[in-house]
Structure 1
Amino acid sequence: MKPITRYLGVFVCTALSACASGAPLSSGKPFDLTPPKTMMADGIFYSQRAWPGTVPMQVAIVEIDLQTRGLSFAVSSGRASDASEYRSQTTSTFLRESGAIVAINGGYFSPVVSAEGLGQDAVGFAKSNGRVVSPASTPQTAGAAKAVVCFDRRQVQILAALACPDRFANGLAAGPLLVQDGAIKVDPKNATRHPRSILGINASGNRLWLVTIDGRQKGYSEGASFAESALILQALGAAHAINLDGGGSTALVYRDPVQGPRVLNRPIQGGVPGTERPVATHIGVFTKAKPKT
């Protein structure tokens, strides 16, 4: 994969000169909240940051102002005529075919495959544009998917539930909850690190973060535990945060107006850095404004 700086060569960059400190991480150092940010479109910004911990960790962040006019979200739609709920797609393919400006991989699924176009089923609830594609699991079968993120245009909620309320046109199950009402909800003693995909919102519900933390790449980025992931989202300002599917599924993609889909993190499907995994569900961010060039 090419360096992220090459991916972003056509973006408009705004350097922020002020410095701020967030919640301390395991090293005792603050997470830098004010590196240069790149405007992708009105109300949508990107930044790449290094975690100041005991192991290298690369964090890709898309920050979204939910008050931006013309903004909306959608979950992968699947095909109602198929025997399986979904056909496997990389996040880049989903972004290109859906017209999203930003996309991140979604919830858990089965089976894991290495090619696109193969049948997959979501683990737990998934709803796309008013249609329930995958029904809610029972508490006994939900596994880690005991929370949901729900979308209705610019309104986003993260709930400790197995399905979204009917008023939300899009949503999916994932988990665990990392942050709820400002408090960390995961066991800090669990130090297992993996690549992570995370969605967070602030207490006012007007700011959203899509975050990926690369992992399984010694010397570059070794992944995060659930507690470290929660601390990063707290440092950004999230009062609520949900863990999405991670590991080889982790991918965050932007639609470059000139060159098409650009992967903002470094995925690691099959142990190969820079390779995306085809997955069942994705979350797409849509805007009526044109991307910045």
Structure 2
Amino acid sequence: SPCCAASPDPKDVLGLAISNGNVVSPSDYNAIPPGGNPYSLGITAGNEALIQYFAPGADVSSLYTAVSGGPILLSNGQIMVAEAPQNAFFDTNPRTAVGLSSDARYLYLLTIDGRQPGYSDGATLYETAEWLMLIGASHGLNLDGGGSTTMARADENGGAVVLNRLSGGVERYNASNFGLYAAPLPAVPEPSAWALMMFGLLVLLAASRRRV
């Protein structure tokens, strides 16, 4: 709150939010999102991911990162939302969701475009759960979607490249974002001229032996 603004107004975060080990928003709050209590995607300092509900006052000292949403879409491979949409929130919309494999080894990030007839209508919460299952998730959580649904990556200069087609045409100023960073690949030394020459000789030798 305030929602849906394309201006950098200060935001009131609903649910648990943790950045670099610092609690930005506690799990105790007044608003309940559609679908019941909010659940959180938590990442420990050791890069272990979990999806669970953190009650007000819960110990979150082990978490390095956390974002919240709702409702839970998958639990132990079972879809947790009704197939028939209960209201507009559960009906077809752009979606942002996260999932975990059954052994919690793999974290899945899912973005579904919507509200663009002829390109993509979106997905219901039930269909979003089905998509998570299809890509290998056993546990899944719906995050804020609609016009906030955005997936981006960094370019070679560190700038942002939006990968999906935004339903509102512009990026929103959202209170929470979730990002992944990869360590740089180790530098690979250029092969020397001698190494290349030796490799070429070995290839020629192998080819000559096959002809014999």
Q: TM-score, normalised by structure 2?
A: 0.77
Give the match for residue 263 of structure 1: 162
Indicate whether 1:185 and 2:80 are aligned.
yes
Give the match for residue 110 of structure 1: 2
One-letter identity of the residue aligned with 2:31: T
Point out the structure with the larger helix share: 2
Say how many residue pairs are matched: 176
Structure 1, residues 4-49: CA drift from partner, whole Å, max 9, x if none? xxxxxxxxxxxxxxxxxxxxxxxxxxxxxxxxxxxxxxxxxxxxxx
SS in 2 for 1:150: strand
Indicate whether 1:161 and 2:44 are aligned.
no
User: Aligned partners of 2:131 and 2:124: how far apart in 1?
Assistant: 11
User: Aligned partners of 2:129 and 2:165: how far apart in 1?
Assistant: 21
**Deviation of 1:142 (Å):** 2.3
Give the match for residue 182 of structure 2: 287
SS in 1 for 2:11: strand
One-letter identity of the residue aligned with 2:27: A
Contact 1:181 1:203 in 2 (8 A): yes
Contact 2:77 2:137 in 1 (8 A): yes
Of 127, 131, 142, 2:32 maps to 142
Change (3 A) 1:210 1:164: farther
User: Aligned partners of 2:145 and 2:16: how far apart in 1?
Assistant: 17
**Deviation of 1:287 (Å):** 1.6
Of 102, 108, 111, 1:203 maps to 102
User: Aligned partners of 2:159 and 2:50: how far apart in 1?
Assistant: 30
Indicate whether 1:213 and 2:106 are aligned.
no
User: Aligned partners of 2:75 and 2:82: how far apart in 1?
Assistant: 13
Give the match for residue 81 of structure 1: none
Contact 1:203 1:239 in 2 (8 A): yes
Give the match for residue 193 of structure 2: none
Which ranges in structure 1 are unaligned for 5 or more consecutive residues? 1-108
Of 1, 14, 21, 1:130 maps to 21
Structure 1, residues 108-146: CA drift from partner, whole Å, max 9, x if none? x43431123x211111211111211112135x6322452
Identity %: 33
Give the match for residue 146 of structure 2: 247
Contact 1:126 1:172 in 2 (8 A): yes
SS in 2 for 1:148: strand
Change (3 A) 1:180 1:242: same
Contact 1:175 1:242 in 2 (8 A): yes
- Between 1:256-265 and 1:275-284, the stretch displaced more is 256-265
Change (3 A) 1:259 1:130: closer
Structure 1, residues 223-254: CA drift from partner, whole Å, max 9, x if none? 10000000000011101111010000000001
One-letter identity of the residue aligned with 1:212: T
SS in 2 for 1:284: coil
Give the match for residue 10 of structure 2: 119
Which ranges in structure 2 are unaligned for 5 or more consecutive residues? 186-212
Contact 2:4 2:147 in 1 (8 A): no
The within-5 A match list for 1:13-92 is: none
User: Aligned partners of 2:21 and 2:120: how far apart in 1?
Assistant: 38
Contact 1:199 1:211 in 2 (8 A): yes
Change (3 A) 1:246 1:214: same
**Deviation of 1:165 (Å):** 3.1
Structure 1, residues 159-205: CA drift from partner, whole Å, max 9, x if none? 13346732112212211111011110111111610000011110111
Contact 2:4 2:148 in 1 (8 A): no
